[in-house]
Amino acid sequence: MGFTSDLSEEDALLRARVDDACDLCEMRSCPRFVGFLDEHRQAVARAVLREKGTFSFLFYGGYEGAERTILGVFPSFLPPDTDLFPLKAIGFRYRRTASLSHRDFLGALLATGIKRDKLGDIVCGEGLTVVFVDEELAPFLAESVNKVGSEGVQALFPYADEVIVHHEFCEYRDTVASPRLDAVLKAALRISREEASRRITAGLVSCNHMPCEQVAHTVKEGDVLSVRGEGRFLIAALGPLTKKGRLIIKLHKYL
């Protein structure tokens, strides 16, 4: 498959947690939940679920398209239900002229002493940020966080309004000799193919959130490449061929 087989200690622990969730779901005939998980850990969890083979499951983070999600494993007689997931949303209102970022809110939330895996997405807008959190911690956070940076904020809990997410990216086009990972990475980063190969073999590149160290790995339309220190790239289009036989590629770099 082109992915590394060696697991980090954190990934090995996650595999054990997902395996336990599946076993307990089957044994007790009730849903089990693991998370919040980032995109890489979701990919690790999916690999375990494929190995287990027989479970109904859903990744859900509180709204459509969430990046950090909770894995819910459900018994065969119970369809996955988002209402059962142990998460809540908290809205924080503040002056529309205040420039509060994802980093500002993450710092304020972690300063309360909670762990990162208890926090889901943090969706920032003008004068309103919505945070998804472990349901047991939600009342505590809603009461505790009244200032972010030097800006006073007002908690809205429970928050039940629509969550509007704006993904920003820059788009550019190029041509590649083939859909090999080294060729596509060369186009994405505007570097030499030799440098692209070096970064891949050094373990700096992931494809669909799983480490990939094979320079000849075939990239497909819709794949997401993550490059340490460079960000993420969506392969928005791959093809058609030019008259010279090169593939036209359209890339979206997330900002």
Domain ranges of the chain: 9-83, 87-156, 169-254
For residue range 220-246, what is the model confidence (pLDDT) as tens digits?
999 989 898 898 899 999 999 999 999
Rounded to two decimals, the pTM is 0.75
Closest among 241, 213, 217 to 227, alpha carbons compared: 213
Helix ranges (H only) for 32-135 are 39-52, 102-110
Token pair of 155, please?
Answer: 């908690």
DSSP notation for 161-218: SPP-----EEEEEEEESSSBHHHHHHHHHT--HHHHHHHHHTT-EEETTEEB--TTPB
Are 98 and 44 spatial neighbours (Cβ–Cβ below 8 Å)? no
Q: SS3 breakdown of the chain: % helix, strand, coil, rounded to 5?
A: 30, 35, 40
From 3.10.20.90, 3.40.1050.10, 3.30.1180.10, 3.10.290.10, which CATH number describes the 169-254 domain? 3.10.290.10
pLDDT by 10-residue block (mean), the chain, 255 residues: 59 94 94 93 91 86 91 93 96 94 96 96 94 97 96 95 81 94 95 96 87 93 90 92 94 86
Are 158 and 129 spatial neighbours (Cβ–Cβ below 8 Å)? no
